[in-house]
Structure 1
Amino acid sequence: MTIRRRYAAISAVAAGALLMAGCGSAGGGGKASPTAEKLADSITIGLELAPDGYNSYTAATNSAYDQYIDNLTQRQFAQVQPDATIKADKAFGTYKKVSDDPLTVKYTFAKDAVWSDGVPLDFDDVLLAWASSSGNYPSGQTDPAGNPVDIFNTASTNGWAEIEKPQGKAGDKSFTLVYKSPYADWETVADYFMPAHIAAEQGGMSSANNGAELIKAIEDDDIAALKPVAKFWNEGWLYQENLPSLPDPKLIPTIGPYKYDNASNGTLTLVRNDKWWGPKAKTEKIVFKTINVDEAVQALQNGEIDSFDPSNPTGDMVKQLADLGAAAKVDKGQSFAFSHVDFDSRAKGVFHDIKVRQAFLKCVPRKELVDKFAKPIYAKSTVLDLREYLPAQAEYKEVLAGVPEAKKYADVDLPGAKALLADAGVKTPLKVRFIYSSSSTLRADQLALIKASCDQAGFSVQAKPDPDLFTTLTHPGEFDAAVFGWSGSGLIASGQSIYVTGGAQNYGGYSDKKVDDLWTEIVKTTDRAKVVPLKTEMEEELWVNPYNVVLYPNPGVTAFASSLKGPAYNPTQYGSTWNAETWTKTLD
Structure 2
Amino acid sequence: MAGVCAVLTGVLVAGCGTASSPPDGDGTAPTTPELADTITVGIDQPPDTYNPGTAESSSIYNAYVGNLTQQAFTTARPDGTLVPNEVYGTYVKTSDDPLTVEYTFAADAVWSDGTPIDFDDALLAWAALSGAYSGDGATGEGDDAEGDAPAEGARPGLFGAASTSGWALVEKLEGEPGDKTFTMVFSEPYPDWEVLAGGFMPAHVAAEEGGLSAADDGAELVEAIRTDDVEALAPVAEFWSTGWSFPDGLTSLPDLDLIPASGPYRYESAAEGALTLVRNERWWGEPARTEHLVFATVGADEMVQALENGEIDVFDQANPTTDMVTRLSALGDAVHVETGESLAYSRLDLDSSSTGVFDDVRVRQAFGRCVPRQDLVDKFARPIEPDSEILQLRELVPAQAAYDQVLDQVPVAAEYRDVDLEGARALLAEARVSTPLRVRVLYAAGSTLRADQVALVAASCNQAGFAVEGRPDPDLFGTLAQRGGWDAAIFGWYASELVTAGESSYVTGGGLNFGGYSNREVDRLWTELGRETDRAAALELRTRLERLLWEDPYNVPLYANPGLLAYSSVVSGPAYNPTQYGSSWNAQTWTKASG
TM-score over 0.5 (shorter chain): yes
Which whole-Å CA distance do the structure 2 matches of 1:248 and 1:466 have between them? 34
Tell me what 2:64 maps to. 68
Tell me what 1:436 maps to. 441
Deviation larger for 179-188 or 345-354: 345-354
Which whole-Å CA distance do the structure 2 matches of 1:343 and 1:360 have between them? 12
Deviation larger for 167-176 or 205-214: 205-214
- Does residue 54 (structure 1) correspond to residue 50 (structure 2)? The answer is yes
- Does residue 303 (structure 1) correspond to residue 310 (structure 2)? The answer is yes
Which whole-Å CA distance do the structure 2 matches of 1:124 and 1:223 have between them? 16
Tell me what 1:105 maps to. 101
Amino acid at match of 1:482: A
Q: Is the 8 A contact 1:518 1:538 kept in 2?
A: yes
Tell me what 2:9 maps to. 6
Backbone CA RMSD of aligned residues: 4.1
Deviations 1:468-520 (A, max 9, x none): 888689769x99x735235235132232344456767273756473x444323
Q: Is the 8 A contact 1:139 1:148 kept in 2?
A: yes
Amino acid at match of 1:463: V
Tell me what 2:202 maps to. 195
Amino acid at match of 2:8: R
Q: For residue 344 of structure 1, report the CA deviation from its aligned partner.
A: 5.2
Amino acid at match of 1:45: V
Q: Is the 8 A contact 1:83 1:392 kept in 2?
A: no
- Does residue 492 (structure 1) correspond to residue 505 (structure 2)? The answer is no
Which whole-Å CA distance do the structure 1 matches of 2:578 and 2:71 have between them? 20
Which whole-Å CA distance do the structure 2 matches of 1:74 and 1:186 have between them? 19
Tell me what 1:34 maps to. 32
Deviations 1:523-571 (A, max 9, x none): 1123445422321233244445655542212333322112223223333
Q: For residue 460 of structure 1, report the CA deviation from its aligned partner.
A: 1.9
Q: CA 1:370–1:203 in 2, change beyond 3 Å: closer, same or farther?
A: same
Q: For residue 243 of structure 1, report the CA deviation from its aligned partner.
A: 4.5
1:507 equivalent among 492, 507, 515: 515
Q: Is the 8 A contact 2:343 2:560 kept in 1?
A: yes
Which whole-Å CA distance do the structure 1 matches of 2:35 and 2:188 have between them? 51
Which whole-Å CA distance do the structure 2 matches of 1:570 and 1:537 have between them? 30
Amino acid at match of 2:453: Q
Tell me what 2:329 maps to. 322
Which whole-Å CA distance do the structure 2 matches of 1:506 and 1:235 have between them? 19
Q: CA 1:449–1:510 in 2, change beyond 3 Å: closer, same or farther?
A: farther
Deviations 1:276-323 (A, max 9, x none): 233332333322234454433222112222112347643333322222
Tell me what 2:283 maps to. 276
Which whole-Å CA distance do the structure 2 matches of 1:234 and 1:563 have between them? 41
Deviations 1:424-444 (A, max 9, x none): 978899755433127565555
Q: For residue 521 of structure 1, report the CA deviation from its aligned partner.
A: 1.9
1:288 equivalent among 289, 295, 313: 295
The structure with the largest alpha-carbon Rg is 1
Deviations 1:439-462 (A, max 9, x none): 565555435444555666xx3222
- Does residue 176 (structure 1) correspond to residue 183 (structure 2)? The answer is yes
- Does residue 135 (structure 1) correspond to residue 134 (structure 2)? The answer is no
Tell me what 1:15 maps to. none
Amino acid at match of 1:168: G
Deviations 1:170-198 (A, max 9, x none): 22111111223333332222222122223
Q: For residue 129 of structure 1, report the CA deviation from its aligned partner.
A: 1.5
Amino acid at match of 1:487: W
Q: Is the 8 A contact 1:346 1:509 kept in 2?
A: no
Which whole-Å CA distance do the structure 1 matches of 2:65 and 2:192 have between them? 23
Deviation larger for 300-309 or 245-254: 245-254
Tell me what 1:375 maps to. 382
Q: For residue 384 of structure 1, report the CA deviation from its aligned partner.
A: 0.7
Which whole-Å CA distance do the structure 1 matches of 2:134 and 2:411 have between them? 47
Q: CA 1:521–1:55 in 2, change beyond 3 Å: closer, same or farther?
A: closer
- Does residue 80 (structure 1) correspond to residue 76 (structure 2)? The answer is yes
Amino acid at match of 1:70: G
Q: For residue 326 of structure 1, report the CA deviation from its aligned partner.
A: 1.3
SS of equivalent to 1:309: strand
- Does residue 121 (structure 1) correspond to residue 117 (structure 2)? The answer is yes
Deviation larger for 497-506 or 83-92: 497-506
Q: For residue 75 of structure 1, report the CA deviation from its aligned partner.
A: 0.7
Q: Is the 8 A contact 1:335 1:554 kept in 2?
A: yes
Instruction: List alignment gaps of at least 5 residues for structure 2.
Output: 1-6, 14-29, 141-153
Tell me what 1:166 maps to. 173
Amino acid at match of 1:277: W
- Does residue 585 (structure 1) correspond to residue 587 (structure 2)? The answer is no
Q: Is the 8 A contact 1:339 1:554 kept in 2?
A: no
- Does residue 460 (structure 1) correspond to residue 465 (structure 2)? The answer is yes
Tell me what 1:93 maps to. 89
Q: Give the TM-score, by structure 1 length.
A: 0.79
Which whole-Å CA distance do the structure 1 matches of 2:155 and 2:215 have between them? 33
Q: Is the 8 A contact 1:405 1:543 kept in 2?
A: yes
Q: CA 1:199–1:411 in 2, change beyond 3 Å: closer, same or farther?
A: closer
Tell me what 1:446 maps to. 453
SS of equivalent to 1:113: coil
Q: Is the 8 A contact 1:500 1:516 kept in 2?
A: yes
Q: Is the 8 A contact 1:8 1:156 kept in 2?
A: no
Q: Is the 8 A contact 2:11 2:493 kept in 1?
A: no
Amino acid at match of 2:345: A
Q: Is the 8 A contact 2:351 2:514 kept in 1?
A: no
SS of equivalent to 2:561: strand
- Does residue 331 (structure 1) correspond to residue 319 (structure 2)? The answer is no
Which whole-Å CA distance do the structure 1 matches of 2:210 and 2:172 have between them? 21
Amino acid at match of 1:386: L
Q: CA 1:531–1:585 in 2, change beyond 3 Å: closer, same or farther?
A: farther
Q: CA 1:174–1:267 in 2, change beyond 3 Å: closer, same or farther?
A: same
Q: Is the 8 A contact 2:347 2:493 kept in 1?
A: no
* Matched ranges for 1:326-405 at <5 A: 326-333=333-340, 334-340=342-348, 342=350, 363-405=370-412
Q: For residue 68 of structure 1, report the CA deviation from its aligned partner.
A: 1.6
Tell me what 2:25 maps to. none
Q: CA 1:426–1:436 in 2, change beyond 3 Å: closer, same or farther?
A: closer
Q: Is the 8 A contact 1:186 1:526 kept in 2?
A: no
Tell me what 2:24 maps to. none
Q: For residue 87 of structure 1, report the CA deviation from its aligned partner.
A: 2.6
Which whole-Å CA distance do the structure 2 matches of 1:198 and 1:448 have between them? 47
SS of equivalent to 1:300: helix
Q: Is the 8 A contact 2:349 2:515 kept in 1?
A: no
Tell me what 1:219 maps to. 226
Tell me what 1:207 maps to. 214
Amino acid at match of 2:344: F
Tell me what 1:22 maps to. none
Q: CA 1:482–1:64 in 2, change beyond 3 Å: closer, same or farther?
A: closer
Amino acid at match of 1:182: P
Q: Is the 8 A contact 1:6 1:487 kept in 2?
A: yes
Which whole-Å CA distance do the structure 1 matches of 2:247 and 2:435 have between them? 49
SS of equivalent to 1:5: coil
Q: Give the TM-score, by structure 2 length.
A: 0.78
Q: For residue 61 of structure 1, report the CA deviation from its aligned partner.
A: 4.2
SS of equivalent to 2:221: helix
Instruction: List alignment gaps of at least 5 residues for structure 1.
Output: 11-31
Amino acid at match of 2:71: R
Q: CA 1:341–1:247 in 2, change beyond 3 Å: closer, same or farther?
A: closer
Q: For residue 327 of structure 1, report the CA deviation from its aligned partner.
A: 1.0
